[in-house]
Structure 1
Amino acid sequence: MHVPDGFLDVPTSAATGVVAVAAVGIALRRARHELDDRTAPMAGLVAAFVFAAQMINFPVGAGTSGHLMGGALAAVLVGPWTAVLCLAVVLLVQGLFMADGGISALGTNITLIGLVTVVVGWFVFRGLRAVLPRRLGVVAPAAAIAALVSVPVAAAVFTLLFAVGGQVPIDTGTVLTAMLGWHVLIGLGEALITGLVVGAVVTARPDLVHGARSLLATRELEIRTVPA
């Protein structure tokens, strides 16, 4: 979903730039509560994995592309604030050194990929966790569903931005159909990858998964209260 330069008008790009700067600024302060010496290396691994996954692009039309986003995956593994930072760094490197997304559209790309997917993914994950049984086995399926939902939502938000400030002479309905059609399919792939990756990490090291911490605390409390 990397948006190129000139695809949106200046006011719309500037507005999303302000949103992106504000989100990254807040994330810089809040991420310190999610990371410690044990979990900080996970953030680097997540950023590297997302960077590699986003290199696989699918043409969507009208100059845009679709690809795996990784917002929900990052939020579940390292926490939502750290996930915003991971995605922002990935998008910055891609925009500056790989011409993947425009420089003037960097704020738009961070808002869509690094903020919308993270926020939607995290809240869907938390909502599912609240209604599903409190077991580690539900973490991976909940993360997969969160990833599935987050991708088309980001595509819909992009279409809204295009309707407000699109600079390409294409009907908004056509853009919406193309974006949602492709990104529902991409969302299915992202759900599969997210579920597999989160499931593997939960199985090996559940203590490193931010989205599983409350379940671990509950399980440890239950173990300690069992009479000998």
Structure 2
Amino acid sequence: MALTFPPMMQGQPVDEDAFTEAQRQATLGCDAGLITYGTRADVIEAALILSPEVPLSKAMAMLPLCAVGFQNALGALAPPEVSVHLEWDGKLRVNGASCGAFDVAASTDDPNAEPDWIVVGFRVPFLPESDEMGHTPDRTALAAEGCADVAPDQLIESWARHTLHWINRWETDGPRGVHTEWRGLSHGIGEDVTQSGLKGTFMGIDEDFGMLLKDENGQTHLLPLTTLLKGQA
């Protein structure tokens, strides 16, 4: 049965790799709002094609925005004791353990150019990789964290609705609302991290969601979200 999406969004089921298929469809010139999705027994994945009419440096806000939409969606469907947090680079954490991630691609990597399209997609394990999860305590799956009754189709539909809500807020009010929501859900601020080959303390984010990283010498580096772009499929 086909999934139901909000107005201005359309769905296209895929057998595998929704993120790659979304990039292919975007390159072919499909309309923004297309969601490619897959709901296999072990993995849930979906990707959304967007065309924000701003320079890429600003449009990259779609990555944390879509991740906030996912947190809101899973938070609404999962039992109340399930916690969902967001890492700066798109990774997701459920009850403290790594549980899938978001990726982002665009038609250009020039921060000052307006992209023809941006694709943001997630891939989340629903079932554990093995029955012996004690060997990988930092990795988990939704079913192992109390979400076995969350229907994959329902999660993708809810993600679309919550993401559209945040897109509308972003278009109306700018990034401030998303910025505030993301900070409240973020994982790792104040901790030592390694990102893009740099080691230091994750101090927070700038107005465009760039990572502020203070190294051991006290120098603060700005890592823009564009460093997370994946190469085109």
Q: TM-score range by the shorter chain?
A: 0.3 to 0.5
Structure with bigger gyration radius:
1
* Larger strand fraction of residues: 2
Q: Which has the higher contact order (CA 8 A, sep 6+)?
A: 1
TM-score (norm 2): 0.32
